[in-house]
Amino acid sequence: MDDNPDALTTGNVIGPKGARTRTAIIDAALQLFRERGYEATTMRAVAAEADVSLGNAYYYFKSKEHLIQAFYDRTQLEHAEAAAPLLEREADLAARIVGVAEAWVDVMEPYRAFAGTFFKNAADPTSPLSPFSWESTGARRTAIALWQNVIDGSDVKVPKVLRAELPELLWLYFMGTVLYWVHDRTENANRTRALIRGTAPLVVRAIGLARLPVFRSTVNELVRLIAELKTSASQPA
């Protein structure tokens, strides 16, 4: 084979043929996830659907979990592309939050049928599918960077003490919305959209309140707590 499997984890560029094969495997997996569900889909079935050997499928992806990581990476890019027009024209922070969150809902709509299954696995803190896992680092950083963009292009003056932490706080807020979406069975995820539209102004209001002297000590304590949690999370158990 002309492609180095280490390229998938080291960030090296794989060749055009390898990229096409990798894309075909991901597309086949997503198709089968939609048709059969996550648990019922095997790597052998994915290989057959992609018209590659089982060994070739494992060459690019060590397991189904690694396929989901590739799915995360792809949807993060699609989400950023879908949100870009709104972010280019809108400065109101609440509108930016709503637009970016609903862009994700739109991108994920084709996958609602099986999303609950792999998000259930993602809820396991030891699973590589967890959004907080080491394996999800790339997708998580991409997501947080998008929320940084949401803030940077807005007309809201963010309190200095919150500037460094706010993108990740917004991402965590959005993770709660994602959990709600997983359980939302309404047409076009209408309840999730209503939740987004209802909570975005509250988020903006909370950011504004953080600037008031009466809340300064509380905000400082929150930022300190976040820093402590990050430090403890980065240390071995």
Residue 121 pLDDT > 80: no
Alpha carbon dihedral 43, 119, 95, 160, in 10-degree steps, equals -110
| pLDDT for the residue numbered 39 | 82
Same domain membership, residue 157 and residue 53 = no
Helices (H) and strands (E) in the chain, counts: 12, 0
Q: How far apart are the first and last CA of the chain?
A: 39
Greater confidence, 172 or 221?
A: 172
CA 1, CA 168: separation in Å to the nearest integer? 40
Residue 13 pLDDT > 70: no
Number of domains, the chain:
2
Domain span holding position 15: 7-60
Average pLDDT over the chain, rounded to an integer: 83
CA 122 to chain centre: 12
Same domain membership, residue 178 and residue 90 = yes
How does residue 3 score in pLDDT terms, banded at 50, 70 and 90?
very low
Same domain membership, residue 143 and residue 94 = yes
Q: Which residue has the tokens 């086949």?
A: 28
The pTM of the whole model exceeds 0.85: no
Q: What angle do CA 81, 82, 85 make, to 5 degrees?
A: 90
CA 17, CA 52: separation in Å to the nearest integer? 13
- Is 209 part of any domain? yes
Q: Read off the pLDDT of residues 26-51 as tens digits, 9 standing for 90 and up.
A: 999 988 988 888 888 999 999 999 99
Same domain membership, residue 91 and residue 32 = no
